[in-house]
Structure 1
Amino acid sequence: MVQEDFLHYIWKHKKFHQQDLKTSKGEHVVVISNGEHNFNAGPDFFNAQLKIGEQLWAGNVEIHIKSSDWFLHNHETDKAYDNVILHVVWEHDSEVFRNNNSIIPTLELKNYVASAALKSYKKLFNSNQNWINCENDFSTIDDFTITNWLERLYFERLERKSAEILSLLKASQNNWEAVLFKMLAKSFGLKVNGDAFLSLANSFDFSILRKSQSKLESLEALLFGQSGLLDVEVEEPYHKALQNEYYFLKQKFKLDNTLVMAPSFFRLRPNNFPTIRLSQLANVYFGHQNLFSKLIGATTVNEIYSLFMVETSEFWKTHYTFSKASKATKKNISKTFVNLLIVNTIIPLKFSYAKYKGQSLEDEILNLVEALPTEKNSIVDKFNSLKNISKNAMQSQALIQLKTEYCIKNKCLQCAIGNKLLNH
């Protein structure tokens, strides 16, 4: 049995024989306009134009697998469906009526769909054992189709991230600097400590960081103290100095860290320990006032690199934790880490800010993200094994969007690649 979204696809793209179309009552149907696809509540297609018999109609089209689904969904009592002029179904098994008991003309599609289209559909959706439905045919898709689809997917991904950022903006009372700090904190925590670092950033007002920004010891005391890393007693002068400074800040600003998630050290490389990342974050803000304005003004990757070329404070050059010394090494923020910040924080923030201001930065954003190397992860690696397509970070981000929002959800009929295969 076909799925309803396939019928939407067939109707929307006119993938059916249109000569001698007839309703279940034998009336001729001429499709002048299929209407506008509605993805929200209500009929499936708005403002269609049809000729049924000798009568011209303008109204909505509803699509179901079986005619009786009309009653299953209680459309007969919903006034939103009173303007339906045609009921398009795969199988006609029941007459349907409007709220005023008038019969709605029904078109049974199964006798009008080309066998090749049906065969392509079944081939695509009967691949349950594959990583993605089109796994066996993905390599046959031309580069032009893939490149254009990936660019669209990338901006679709940015739109989704933008909704999250604008939510943070509202919670921060339209303070873009505060939003940047929260997003950077989450990114500095990486996958393991991202949520913990975000809870840390949410635990105090950004104005407190502003007031502590002129003194590195105050910044580190604020971040380490709120994260709970100063709660234990350690016989180390640096630790004691941070404890004293944090106690002062806590009293002055009435700080509370009871809701802050404890950061984890488990299964992390030493350079990603929360101690190291928090010290680096403190140094970024110690070195830059108005960081948001500087990042918005930066138009090249190298300009952004220069803003994050900082190290930890002196103590962490010989430590990874408060309690144990280690071999002296510089622990600066690497370009690889900054690339992650650009992809996951800075570009989405630039995109959201431009959207907020009613501006478009598509060219600048593409120039930035295409200048970064492709990401390495299981999704990108698998796609590249099917067809070597990811050459930069824009494409790797788009492939993540493709897998998570289309392939996993079987939305092949809304995918340019799935459409291409069906059109074959």
Structure 2
Amino acid sequence: MKEDFLHYVWQYKKFDFSNLTTVSGDELTILNSGQYLRQSGPDFFNAQIIIGNQKWAGNVEIHLKSSDWYLHQHENDPHYDNVILHVVWEHDTPIFRKDNSEIPTLELKTYVASGVLNQYLSLTTPKSWIYCENQIAKVDQLMFKNWQERLFFERLEAKATPIEVLLQETDNDWEAVLFYRLAKNFGLNTNGEIFLKMAKSIPFSIIRKEGFEVENLEALLFGKADLLPVEAEDFYTKDLQNRSIYMTQKHRLKKVFIEPVQFFKHRPDNFPTIRLAQLAMLYHKQQNLFSKIISTHSLADFYKLFNVGVSSYWENHYQFEKESPRKKKQFSKSFIDLLVINTIVPFQFAYAKSQGKEISESLLQLMETIAPEKNIIIEKFSNFGVKSKNAFETQSLLQLKNSYCNHSKCLQCAIGIQLLKN
């Protein structure tokens, strides 16, 4: 048993309210169980109770055992001075305030019906993947839809956080931060952090200045990623080497150690060379990209905005000086979908938030037009009867699994709470 079960029992009044008494035998009446805080300090704020003939207003603290009060050192924390009731599953020791008066204690185990406890134990007994895997497909769909919206925006808030951090580092240069975050996503899971470090090593003012020649951008990106061969034979590679040396001197770029990029297990179209060539072409073709993504709202228009390929050299190369059959190598729709999900929508959300604007509905509508993502988590949910029709639903399921299921937060999850109520 965990404390969150007791929080659930207290918050939703899943115990017998009649004839309550404290462990000292005093009659107890609960007028208001208080507000669940979910933060440091007592668990429930501003509760109202009657003990004997005395009415009390204050906070309620909940533990599995009374002695946990001392285990958590609450006796030394002034935030707990206003606790009017200690609610525990098992009472094993009296608890005293600083003035040596005893804090009234309610022992819950004598008032909780066995059915409530058995349902909790059934829900939280480990299964093969998630606790509710045999029940999740049966929950109320309206509740599930509302919970998915909450999960989606929780995930969106988390994705907006690194954007806000970078804004502080760049004096609110939205264009620069967009370039950094796009670079990270172009690197995918394998090279994302390497691409981000590479992008941050180039002041964005230089990207602005040099964007009129795609070869200059390629020289900057390939040079900083340490992908330019030491000994070059073909004209293009030699030209990029010279441009890289020249721009390093011109812009006084500092040498920054960048971990080697990874080619292993990538399909050729996802090679870091191709993704950097595409990133260079994007910033060559699309000036003022940030303002364009903020003013674009349909998936079809994003497909047009990102309708760029690579320079001619990379149409018949995947690596330097290794020729291959010619191919345009434009962004696939599935890759643009990933950019919209992981970069564009978080940017639109963060920017609207900074401007005090509400665009939640339009973001939901956009996400509902994007095909569902394919990964092992979404496949697992599908096997248990939760099938996703779009990216809004897959993003919410990823948040559910990673932030709730993986941490056994069933009683902070709307699905878990409904299953317990049933």
1:23 Cα offset (Å): 0.6
Moved more, 363-372 or 139-148: 139-148
Aligned to 2:219: 221
Q: Unpaired runs of 5+ in structure 2?
A: none
On the 8 A contact 1:79/1:99 being kept in 2, the answer is: no
Aligned to 1:283: 281
The amino acid of 2:74's aligned partner reads H
- The SS at the match of 2:407 is coil
Aligned to 1:243: 241
Aligned to 1:268: 266
Partners of 1:95 and 1:417 in 2: how far apart?
Answer: 36
Aligned to 2:228: 230
On the 8 A contact 2:34/2:44 being kept in 1, the answer is: yes
- The SS at the match of 2:336 is helix
Give the one of 380, 392, 395 matched to 1:394.
392
The amino acid of 2:278's aligned partner reads Q
Partners of 1:192 and 1:3 in 2: how far apart?
Answer: 37
On the 8 A contact 1:47/1:59 being kept in 2, the answer is: yes
Give the one of 353, 365, 368 matched to 2:366.
368
- The SS at the match of 1:382 is helix
On the 8 A contact 1:203/1:259 being kept in 2, the answer is: no
Partners of 2:315 and 2:79 in 1: how far apart?
Answer: 67
Partners of 2:360 and 2:78 in 1: how far apart?
Answer: 42
- The SS at the match of 2:218 is helix
1:130 Cα offset (Å): 2.0
- The SS at the match of 1:49 is strand
1:124 lines up with 2:123 in the alignment: yes
Partners of 1:79 and 1:258 in 2: how far apart?
Answer: 48
Q: Unpaired runs of 5+ in structure 1?
A: none
The amino acid of 1:118's aligned partner reads L
On the 8 A contact 1:59/1:85 being kept in 2, the answer is: yes
Partners of 2:350 and 2:67 in 1: how far apart?
Answer: 45
Partners of 2:59 and 2:133 in 1: how far apart?
Answer: 37
The amino acid of 2:53's aligned partner reads E
Q: How many pairs does the alignment contain?
A: 422
TM-score where L is the length of structure 1: 0.98
Partners of 1:307 and 1:251 in 2: how far apart?
Answer: 33
1:99 lines up with 2:101 in the alignment: no
Partners of 2:208 and 2:241 in 1: how far apart?
Answer: 20
Partners of 1:39 and 1:361 in 2: how far apart?
Answer: 27
Q: Deviations over 1:242-266 (max 9, x none)?
A: 1111111000111134322221111
Partners of 1:77 and 1:243 in 2: how far apart?
Answer: 65
Aligned to 1:211: 209
1:71 Cα offset (Å): 1.5
The amino acid of 1:322's aligned partner reads F
The amino acid of 2:112's aligned partner reads V
The amino acid of 1:114's aligned partner reads A
Aligned to 1:146: 144
Aligned to 1:133: 131
1:305 lines up with 2:303 in the alignment: yes
The amino acid of 2:63's aligned partner reads H
Aligned to 1:332: 330
Q: Deviations over 1:163-216 (max 9, x none)?
A: 221111111211110110011001111111111111111112111111111111
1:142 Cα offset (Å): 2.6
Partners of 1:78 and 1:246 in 2: how far apart?
Answer: 59
Partners of 1:388 and 1:26 in 2: how far apart?
Answer: 49
- The SS at the match of 2:176 is helix
Partners of 2:386 and 2:8 in 1: how far apart?
Answer: 29
Partners of 2:142 and 2:413 in 1: how far apart?
Answer: 14
On the 8 A contact 1:369/1:393 being kept in 2, the answer is: yes
Aligned to 2:21: 22
1:231 Cα offset (Å): 4.4
1:410 lines up with 2:408 in the alignment: yes
The correspondence of residues 37-186 of structure 1 with structure 2, limited to 5 A, is 37-126=36-125, 128-186=126-184
1:92 Cα offset (Å): 1.0
On the 8 A contact 2:136/2:386 being kept in 1, the answer is: no
> Percent identity among equivalent residues?
52
Q: Which runs of 4+ in 1 moved over 4 A?
A: none
On the 8 A contact 1:28/1:52 being kept in 2, the answer is: yes
Partners of 2:115 and 2:91 in 1: how far apart?
Answer: 22
Moved more, 144-153 or 395-404: 144-153
Partners of 2:76 and 2:153 in 1: how far apart?
Answer: 40
On the 8 A contact 1:81/1:98 being kept in 2, the answer is: no
TM-score where L is the length of structure 2: 0.98
1:253 lines up with 2:251 in the alignment: yes
